[in-house]
A and B are shown apart, each in its own frame.
Chain A
Amino acid sequence: MAETNHNKTEERPNTLSKAPTGIEGLDEITAGGLPAGRPTLIAGSAGCGKTMLALEFLVRGATQFNEPGVFMMFEESAAELTDNVRSLGFDLDDLVARKLIALDHVHIERSEIEETGEYDLEGLFIRLGYAIDSIGAKRVVLDTIEALFAGLPNEAILRSELRRLFRWLKDRGITAVITGEKGDGTAITRHGLEEYVADCVIVLDQRVREQITTRRLRVLKYRGTAHGMNEYPFMIGKHGFSVLPVTSLQLDHKVSDHRVSTGISRLDEMLSGRGVFHGSSVLVSGSPGTGKSSIAAKFVETACRRGERAMFFAYEESVAQIVRNMRSIDIDLEPWIEKGLLEVHASRPTYLGHEQHLVMMHDLVRAFRPTVVAVDPISNLFMAHDDAEVKPTLMRLIDWLKTEHITAILTSLTSGGNAPSEPDDSQVSVSSLMDTWLLLRNSEIGGERNRTIFVRKSRGMAHSNQVREFVLSDNGIDLLDVHVGSDRVLTGSARMAQEAHERAASTLRGQDHERKLRRLASKRQAIEAQIAVLRAEAEADLVELDFIVAEQKLQDSIEHRDTGAVFRRRAGVAGTNGGGMEKP
């Protein structure tokens, strides 16, 4: 009936009116909240947070959305409930005094009750109606109405009265939340409450894996609206309920061209000179003692130096230990912590399930809004678990950090020792999520271990393919060129020895070379001297030749003249006596 009414309503033709829960993540999954004016069923096994979820819905409705609410409880007393939720920062006494919340504890004792003849549950309706009217409630929680099944002998009457109750709530436009204990097998609730609450069903679940409990939430059904279909981990933390719906997000985060320095200038150099992309994720993997944490700490410290906020999640060391240890390599985190630019959160990985760690990180990051987040190491946090389950969790973290434009640096401990290929493999599933992957290795040469680093991948930028030696010292972190010999890479003392050796050899070679040069020079001088002599000789010859030529010319001309003269004279004489010679 409500649906047909709704369809006829013209002011809101397509959108279902929603009552926002104000609970982190839940409004995202349900695209705005629970169906307004209709009942919602929250089902789950004991201790998985049904009451908390219902109560938070009510408290946030009253405090944030101006919708007062009635909490009708069938199990706990009002005093117990008030005490229980005080730890979450909800002061029910105050809310009750301000007429924002009304509490009614319905207690029913089977042993006190005798049944005879016909009855109905009008008393419950009257109580609820009275509570609703007394504060003008828009929301109602019935936690959990199933207790009536134990308290009242006649189930047929109870069922018909429940149906009437939900109809009555709908008619009054009350947004109701009904909790129900999970039934055996596939039943959603033990007494089939889902039969009456057809609009929205949320299932809470609690699983224990490897002694760690994870709570999950799923919207099983939500009539008339699109909703997230997956199971979402949730946590009941200091600020109440928190659901992490990250995988519902599309792969469409904005990317930045802005680069962020790693704080290690030579490492930046290897990443095309400018560091990693802002908002990208960096994986630093390596076997124990390769300096992963140091890189992460440096990255964080550099962000603080730029005046940005940074957050460091430590799962191996305490805060004090990190500060002390990093100081030994000239990374002082303490001033930044004091200034409030850096937050270091240290906790044991086994303290929570990995998904709850994620929720916790999510909450902390949201509260602090850093630009850089370091997780040291993710391997402790995630790798110990079943890999197939872990990857989506990690993906959620990375995706979420990317959408928030937070640069993430995640370290990962590789299981292997020195075998060059082995440590890489264990990271493959994770690495596909990462934009930049720095691989740290120990190389053992000449009786010592030395650290090397190289860029295994870095999306979207030219990056060095070289292996560098990675040096941690009192002066901080530095990268050195390794010695690339004929067929092996040398680091540490071996590199220094090799370099010294080569320096010596090159000195000798230099001297030899100079001697050769000198010898060649003198030889050349000698040749040049010879050339000079020959050239002088040649010049002398040339002069001689000129002389001879000139002499010949002169002679020729003289002879010619003489001949002419003789001829002319002969010709003159011939008239007298020459003719006699010509024609004798």
Chain B
Amino acid sequence: MNPVPQFQLRLYIAGHTAKSVAAFANLHRICETHLAGQYTIEVIDLRETPQLAAGDQILAIPTLVRCLPEPIKKIIGDLSNEARVLVGLDIKPVGHAMA
């Protein structure tokens, strides 16, 4: 089995809105399910650090950026659809959580 690359994820939110909270909860759950031990999540609140928005070309909130592994991928929305998040992050599902 090939070593699974380390996932470096960054979640952009703007204040603690319902969507932000939902996105973080969804992300946390998906990562624990499929990437246990192989990921880091950095949450950036643009309300506090607006200057960081330009760097990752953030428009939509919430946006999840997969910084590593390359290439960079972005997923916008509250990450409520797990299947699409997995496709977006290019992660092979572990087990049969969805079944």
In the complex the two chains form, is B84's CB within 8 Å of A115's CB? yes
Task: Point out the residues of chain A lying under 8 angstroms from B19, CB to CB.
Answer: 117-120
Task: Kindly supply a per-residue 1/0 record for chain B positions 51-64, scoring 1 wherever the CB is within 8 Å of any chain A CB and 0 otherwise.
Answer: 10110011111110
In the complex the two chains form, is A122's CB within 8 Å of B61's CB? yes
In the complex the two chains form, is B78's CB within 8 Å of A118's CB? yes
Q: Which of A90-98, A101-109, A531-539 contacts B (4 or more CB under 8 A)?
A: A101-109
Cα-based distance from A118 to B81 in the complex (angstroms): 10
Whether a CB of chain A sits under 8 angstroms from the CB of B29 is: no
In the complex the two chains form, is A116's CB within 8 Å of B60's CB? no
If A108-B57, A112-B72, A114-B88 touch, does A119 touch B46 (CB 8 Å cutoff)?
A: no
In the complex the two chains form, is A113's CB within 8 Å of B14's CB? no
In the complex the two chains form, is A117's CB within 8 Å of B73's CB? no
Task: Point out the residues of chain B lying under 8 angstroms from A323, CB to CB.
Answer: none
Q: Which of A17-25, A123-131, A191-199, A200-208 contacts B (4 or more CB under 8 A)?
A: A123-131
| Of the residues A114, A118, A123, A130, contact of B59 by C-beta under 8 Å | A123
Cα-based distance from A209 to B63 in the complex (angstroms): 49
Whether a CB of chain A sits under 8 angstroms from the CB of B9 is: no
Whether a CB of chain B sits under 8 angstroms from the CB of A148 is: yes
In this complex, the interface size class of chain A, counting residues with CB under 8 Å from chain B, is 20 to 34
In the complex the two chains form, is A117's CB within 8 Å of B80's CB? yes
In the complex the two chains form, is A123's CB within 8 Å of B53's CB? yes
Task: Point out the residues of chain A lying under 8 angstroms from B23, CB to CB.
Answer: 117
| Of the residues B47, B57, B63, contact of A106 by C-beta under 8 Å | B57
Whether a CB of chain A sits under 8 angstroms from the CB of B31 is: no
Task: Point out the residues of chain B lying under 8 angstroms from A107, CB to CB.
Answer: 57
In the complex the two chains form, is B73's CB within 8 Å of A112's CB? yes
Task: Point out the residues of chain B lying under 8 angstroms from A127, CB to CB.
Answer: 50, 53-54, 58-59
Whether a CB of chain B sits under 8 angstroms from the CB of A152 is: yes
If A108-B57, A122-B46, A123-B63 touch, does A116 touch B84 (CB 8 Å cutoff)?
A: yes
Task: Point out the residues of chain B lying under 8 angstroms from A148, CB to CB.
Answer: 59
Cα-based distance from A112 to B12 in the complex (angstroms): 16
If A108-B59, A121-B60, A122-B61 touch, does A113 touch B75 (CB 8 Å cutoff)?
A: yes
If A117-B77, A119-B77, A120-B60 touch, does A104 touch B54 (CB 8 Å cutoff)?
A: yes
Task: Point out the residues of chain B lying under 8 angstroms from A121, CB to CB.
Answer: 59-61
| Of the residues B46, B58, B77, contact of A116 by C-beta under 8 Å | B77
Task: Point out the residues of chain A lying under 8 angstroms from B47, CB to CB.
Answer: 126
Task: Point out the residues of chain A lying under 8 angstroms from B35, CB to CB.
Answer: none
Can you identify 16 A-B contacts, CB atoms within 8 angstroms?
A108-B57, A112-B73, A113-B74, A114-B74, A117-B77, A118-B80, A119-B19, A120-B60, A121-B61, A122-B60, A124-B59, A126-B47, A126-B50, A126-B53, A130-B53, A152-B76
13 further A-B pairs in the complex, CB-CB below 8 A; given A114-B88, A119-B61: A106-B59, A114-B74, A116-B85, A116-B88, A117-B78, A118-B19, A118-B78, A123-B58, A126-B53, A127-B59, A130-B51, A130-B53, A151-B59
Query: Which of A's residues lie within 8 Å of B, judged by CB?
Result: 104-108, 112-124, 126-127, 129-130, 148, 151-152
Q: Which 9 A-B pairs have the closest CB atoms?
A: A114-B88, A117-B77, A117-B78, A130-B50, A117-B80, A122-B61, A123-B58, A116-B84, A116-B81
